[in-house]
Structure formats: structure tokens, C-alpha cells
A and B are shown apart, each in its own frame.
Chain A
Amino acid sequence: AQSVSQHNHHVILSEAASLELGCNYSYGGTVNLFWYVQYPGQHLQLLLKYFSGDPLVKGIKGFEAEFIKSKFSFNLRKPSVQWSDTAEYFCALRGTYKYIFGTGTRLKVLA
């Protein structure tokens, strides 16, 4: 079965704290993995994606994610968060023609 799990539903951090959001997947084929961000009142935007090659992927706004095949994980990280990072973050897996999204993690950054 194809699935994506995000274990942290709500995260509250202070500015300058480090961030790591967990994402685990279940899929039998070649994985294409994504992290999307949804700022309040806006639509989803791509943060970063992994298709092949270097398992450490760098995205926009200082975000990065590491694909660890042995752990079926694709965790999102940022060394120092800002208030403007307050948003909902979604991990997604691309299957054949379809995408499977996790339930999302709401991040609140306190100024």
C-alpha cells in the first residue's frame, strides 16, 4: 500500500530554533518525494523535491530534506526558523499518475 505519514501534527518553535519535521512513506516503486508549504490563506507551493541522486536536497528559503531509503524517510529541516515560516507543511509521494499527501504539520514560529 502507498502511504505517507507525518507524525508531528503541530509544532511550536521560537525564532532561531532548529526545525525537523518527520515524513515516512510506504511505496514499492521508485520514489519521487516532495515537500509543499501552505502559508495561511494561500495555496500549496513546492519547497523541494527528490527524484534521484544526492539524497540531501536543498530547497527554497533555506529548507533542506534528506532521503534515507533504509528508513523510508524524507525529513524536512531548517537550521534556524523565522516567524515567516509559520505555515502548514505537507510531505507527498508520487505514485503512478497520483500523488499521496501526508496529513500535514502546522508550524507556528513565535517571534
Chain B
Amino acid sequence: NAGVTQTPKFQVLKTGQSMTLQCAQDMNHNSMYWYRQDPGMGLRLIYYSASEGTTDKGEVPNGYNVSRLNKREFSLRLESAAPSQTSVYFCASSLNPRSGAGEETQYFGPGTRLLVL
């Protein structure tokens, strides 16, 4: 099992350029998440997908769009990059049983470092 994989690992963009960050998981998890990590601010949720076919906004969705392509893949798109989007982006997944409360652990990918000039 590769777990959660992300591409690319590093990216430099110019202001106004667009790009898509890819994320895939091979653990048959239902839920997937995109976070950004900034110094002193911890992890902030951008978007999440509780299950295939659904997506919802998190804490900081402005400037981003997402697509849950299938159960395995969840991509994050920056349509017009801004310097404020310079950050480290982490994708995560969790099993998230549909019925009742069950044990839940998020598994994280290695991250994508994005620099917007």
C-alpha cells in the first residue's frame, strides 16, 4: 500500500497561473481532505469530501476548487494563483464509516510545497 500520494512535491507559480494538485489514496477510504499548513497557523481545512460524489467547503476555501474524481482521487485546483496561496498543502483520507461513530484516523500524504511569486 502506498497510502496517500500527492503530486507534485514542489511547484513554483507566477501570480495568475493555474494548477491542479493531485491526491490519491489506495486504502479504500470514503473521506478525503485538503489542508494548507502555514507557520503559526497549524493546519487549516480547505475542502473535504465526506464520500464519493460530495464535496464541502472547509475553513479557507476561497481561491480553490476541488474535484472528487472517484473514490481514490481528490484534486485541488488553483484557478488564479496569488502570493497568499504560498503554503504547504496536505491531502489526507479517512475511512469514515457511514453509520455511527467508529474509530477514525486521518492518514496524510507527503505534502506539496507551493510558492507563488
Q: A residues engaging B (CB < 8 A)?
A: 6, 9, 30, 32, 34, 36, 42-46, 49, 51, 90, 92, 94, 97-104
Please give me the residue from chain B that is nearest to A91 by CB atom.
B42
For B33, the chain A residues whose CB sits under 8 A away are 98-99
Q: Determine whether the beta carbon of A44 is less than 8 Å from that of B90.
A: yes
A104 smallest CB distance to B (angstroms): 5
Other A-B pairs, 15, CB within 8 Å; known A98-B45, A102-B42: A32-B101, A36-B108, A42-B110, A43-B109, A44-B90, A44-B92, A46-B105, A51-B104, A97-B48, A97-B96, A98-B48, A98-B58, A99-B45, A99-B106, A101-B35
Query: Given that A43-B110, A98-B48 are known contacts, is A51 also in contact with B103, CB under 8 Å in the complex?
Result: yes
Residue in A44, A100, A103 whose beta carbon sits within 8 Å of that of B108 in the complex: A44
Q: B residues engaging A (CB < 8 A)?
A: 31, 33, 35, 40-45, 48, 50, 56, 58, 90, 92, 96, 101, 103-111
Residue in A9, A94, A103, A104 whose beta carbon sits within 8 Å of that of B104 in the complex: A94
Give 11 A-B contacts (CB < 8 Å), ordered by A residue: A36-B108, A43-B111, A97-B48, A98-B45, A99-B33, A99-B45, A99-B92, A101-B43, A103-B40, A103-B41, A104-B42
Q: Determine whether the beta carbon of B42 is less than 8 Å from that of A90.
A: yes
A92 to B101, CA, bound (A): 17
A6 to B110, CA, bound (A): 24
A46 to B3, CA, bound (A): 14
B47 smallest CB distance to A (angstroms): 11
